[in-house]
Amino acid sequence: AQRVTQPEKLLSVFKGAPVELKCNYSYSGSPELFWYVQYSRQRLQLLLRHISRESIKGFTADLNKGETSFHLKKPFAQEEDSAMYYCALGLGGGSNYKLTFGKGTLLTVNP
């Protein structure tokens, strides 16, 4: 069965430091991977997806099929990046589509 693992429940860094939030997945096919972010008292929102290979708010994530990873990175963390981050794996199509979430990592960026 497909699974998404985020090994760190909590991650704390100082402002300006690099940050990497780890995500590993288990799926034998071609995965569709996402990072979602949930700021305090706000809804879950899409941060980025692997197919678009974009950088949002300075964050990037590269799919590494060999290591089955999709780590989220930012070279210089900002205080406003403090939030809960979820890695998610999308599978299936049409009415069979399903998004499986990791347990999330709470990022705290200290001043």
DSSP 35: E
Contact between residue 82 and residue 108 where contact means Cβ atoms under 8 Å apart: yes
How many residues bind to another protein according to rule CB under 8 A?
22
Nearer to another protein, 45 or 78 (CB): 45
Q: Are 89 and 99 in contact (CB under 8 A)?
A: yes
Gap between the Cα atoms of 107 and 84, Å rounded: 6
Residue 66 backbone dihedrals phi, psi, to 5 degrees = -65, -40
Nearer to another protein, 58 or 92 (CB): 92
Binding mask 81-100 for another protein (x = CB under 8 A): -----x---x---xx-xxxx
Encoded one letter per residue, x for contact with another protein by CB under 8 A and - for no contact, window 7-46 reads -------------------------x-x-x-----xxxxx
Q: Closest separation between CB of residue 99 and another protein, Å?
A: 6
How many CB atoms are closer than 10 A to CB 83?
20
- Residue 11 is given by DSSP the state E
Where does this chain bind another protein (CB under 8 A)? 32, 34, 36, 42-46, 49, 51, 86, 90, 94-95, 97-104
